Structure 1
Amino acid sequence: MKKYVNLDNVTSNKSFSDMRKWQKERRTKVKDLSVNIEQCPTKKVTEINENRNCTSFTWIGHSTFLIQLNGMNILTDPVWAKRMGFQKRLTEPGISLADLPEIDLVVISHGHYDHLDFPTLKKLKGNPHYFVPVGLKSLFTRKGYQKVTEMSWWENAEVKEITLHFVPAQHWTRRSLTDMNTSHWGGWIFQTPLETFYFVGDTGYFNGFKQIAERFKVGTVFMPIGAYEPEWFMADAHISPEDSVKAFLDLKAKLFVPMHYGAYRLADDTGPEALDRLYREWEKQQLPGEQLKVLLLGETVIETGK
């Protein structure tokens, strides 16, 4: 069975003793889990259901966004799961599944359960076309999904005047004891003549950001910032807030929208800690405030004048 790898053959393999060391460290830390990312008080549910013309994006939570582009409703890594393993979800999704419009297109970054949740997919309205990393289509087919396209790094597809590109990330994947890295992982770029969105997926900091910048003029980047602590354990697969800013600069992008924090306790950091470190690094690098858009859960940005 084919096994997929990272650029430069970077691995995220951790030993049993590494796991023991992390668990021992974790017991010494006291974290305040009572402060969580807030819900947006003014959600635009009616507007996104009626929108057919404007470009918009809405943060549902974790790595899930609803992107409206060229009249299409697109979801990234749709996960409405109330639990992840033994951990209860810390924040409710910003928009309920029932309040979503019909979905045309779904992209999956990789097979980890906090990014690929079949119970969620079953409840989506519409008949979406799924775009998945190479190696994952067979799983979708076994579960009865027909409209599935799998792609390798740097491949692209045209969907209603949107060019969809699958680009590298530095990560790994597994859904069972026997399928470690038998499918790939990556990010998705949505390119139109007017704008380019880059959904990074799940990644450590890597040279791939510079390679992506050589090929694309990125406008808005949906960038992970959480699940980085302890960094000696997580850094190969999960980017820290400081390195996410470095990646943003590598990309020469216009707008940074943070994600992958505050919903599930996948590591030792908390959502507010991740945001605090992001703000401090942004200030340290003296970057313009208008280039950072931190969303509340369920918050929608509607672009006009496109």
Structure 2
Amino acid sequence: MLTVTRVVHASVLLDFGGARILTDPWFSETRFYRHGEPRAIANAADLPELAGIVISHGHYDHCDLDNLVEYPDKAVPFAVVPGLAKKVRAAGFTNVVELAPWQSTRLGPVEVIAAPASHGVPEVTFVLRADGHTAYFGADTLRIDELDEIAGRFPDLDLALLPVNGLRIRPAFNHKVVMDAEEAADLTRVLHPRIAVPIHYAFSSGPLGDRIITKGDRRGADLFRDAAADRVPDTAVHILPTGQPLTL
């Protein structure tokens, strides 16, 4: 059995038959980093017992170590992008492995395989397998051709978690750093999961930041659902409110 619960943004709990994996933890907020939706878990201290944590890259809204230190089990295993382990260990966590694309490890009973990504900083995405289910976590990558290889390596995906807000950086001439809804729908067509869940769409840089720093489409989840229905109608798209579990 696999149960998925969105915490907020790209932070998700994946429960593989009782083995829970947390993706890209983000609990706190700052002036220019706002969740834009209620978070299902208020603080890392309130997390359930975890089999492991995966972190795609070092941006604050995906790697909130200042809050994650409140999680009591400092031996919980991590799988992280290359170059991030030193920072995670400095936060007090002792069991950290770095994975480049197609390298793998185990977090408890869950096999974790890193996959390609592109976001302007070192980043990986992840395939996770356990209890007879396979899930893909897309973090906040751009839509790149290298992601198509996932379909060949993992042809029977049960779940794909895909970013959809097409985030752009205004001071960098609106440079795009995250795939948008149409691109996520195209990746869904290639990956052909049984179920797709959009993530990374409610984020806001705050009233000022949305005008001068970032530009993203907060309609991304709805746009993705409609685009995926056209491109891959036999994949079920579920837009999950934070805290609402979906069991496969």
SS at the partner of 1:90? coil
Matching residue of 1:109: 56
Residue in 2 that maps onto 1:233: 174
**Is 1:56–1:69's contact at 8 Å kept on the other side of the alignment?**
yes
Q: Given residue 167 of structure 2, which amino acid in structure 1 is its aligned partner?
A: Y
**Residue among 186, 189, 195 paired with 2:127:** 189
Query: Is 1:206 the counterpart of 2:144 in the alignment?
Result: yes
One-letter amino acid matched to 1:109:
S
Query: What does residue 153 of structure 1 align with?
Result: 101
Q: Distance in 1 between matches of 2:161 and 2:62?
A: 14
The structure with the larger Rg is: 1
Q: Would the alpha carbon gap of residues 88 and 202 (structure 1) be closer, same or farther in structure 2, given more than 3 Å must change? A: closer
Does the 8 Å CA contact 1:100/1:125 hold for their aligned counterparts? Answer: no
Cα pair 1:74 1:103 within 8 Å, conserved: yes
1:264 alignment partner, SS class: coil
Specify the SS of the correspondent of 2:152: helix
Residue 136 of structure 1: how far off its partner (Å): 1.1
Query: Does residue 259 of structure 1 match 2:199?
Result: yes
State which of 291, 296, 299 in structure 1 corresponds to 2:236: 291
CA deviation after TM superposition for structure 1 residue 283, in Å = 4.0
Rounded Cα–Cα distance in structure 2 between residues aligned with 1:170 and 1:254:
25
5 Å matches for 1:277-288?
A: 277-285=223-231, 287-288=233-234
For the pair 1:119 / 2:57, whether they are aligned, the reply is no
1:108 and 1:166, CA in 2 relative to 1: closer, same or farther beyond 3 A? same
Query: Separation in 2 of the partners of 1:104 and 1:95?
Result: 17
CA RMSD, 1 decimal? 2.3
Whose strand fraction is larger, Structure 1's or Structure 2's? 2
Which among 222, 226, 243 is matched to residue 276 of structure 1? Answer: 222
SS at match of 2:179: coil
Do 2:29 and 2:35's aligned partners in 1 also have CA atoms closer than 8 Å?
Answer: yes
Paired position in structure 2 for 1:165:
113
Structure 1 stretches lacking a partner, 5+ long:
1-53, 174-183
Q: How does 1:210-225 map to 2 (within 5 A)?
A: 210-217=148-155, 218-225=157-164
In structure 1, give the amino acid aligned to 2:97: T
Deviating 4+ runs (over 4 angstroms): 229-232
Pick one of 16, 24, 28 that aligns with 1:81.
Answer: 28
Distance 1:139 1:230, change over 3 A: closer
Amino acid in structure 2 at the alignment position of 1:258: P
How many pairs are equivalent?
236
Residues 125 and 72 of structure 1: CA distance in aligned 2, closer, same or farther (over 3 Å): farther
Check 1:147–1:201 CA distance in 2 against 1; reply closer, same or farther (3 A cut). Answer: same
The residue that corresponds to 2:15 in the other structure is: 68
CA contact (8 A) 2:111 2:130 kept: yes
* Aligned partners of 1:241 and 1:278 also within 8 Å: yes
Once the two structures are TM-superposed, the CA of residue 87 in structure 1 deviates from its matched residue by 4.4
SS of residue matched to 2:215 = coil
Q: Distance in 2 between matches of 1:286 and 1:252?
A: 7
- State the SS of the aligned residue for 1:275: helix
1:286 offset after TM fit, Å? 6.3
How far apart, in 1, do the equivalents of 2:34 and 2:151 lie? 37
Stretches of structure 2 lacking an aligned partner (at least 5 in a row): none
Distance 1:59 1:88, change over 3 A: closer
Could you tell me how far apart the structure 1 residues matched to 2:232 and 2:247 are?
Answer: 27
**C-alpha deviation, 1:227, in angstroms:** 4.1
Q: 1:229 to 1:302 in 2, by over 3 A?
A: same
Q: Which residue of 2 aligns with 1:140?
A: 88
- In 2, the alpha carbon distance for the partners of 1:125 and 1:300 equals 24
Moved more, 246-255 or 185-194: 185-194
Compute the TM-score of the two structures, normalised by the length of structure 1: 0.70
Name the SS of the counterpart of 2:94 in structure 1: coil
By relative contact order (CA 8 Å, sep 6+), the higher-ranking structure is 1
Shift of 1:129: 1.0
* Percent of paired sites with the same residue: 24
Distance (Å, rounded) in 2 between the aligned partners of 1:302 and 1:253? 15
Question: Cα 1:154–1:296, aligned 2, differ >3 Å: closer, same or farther?
Answer: same
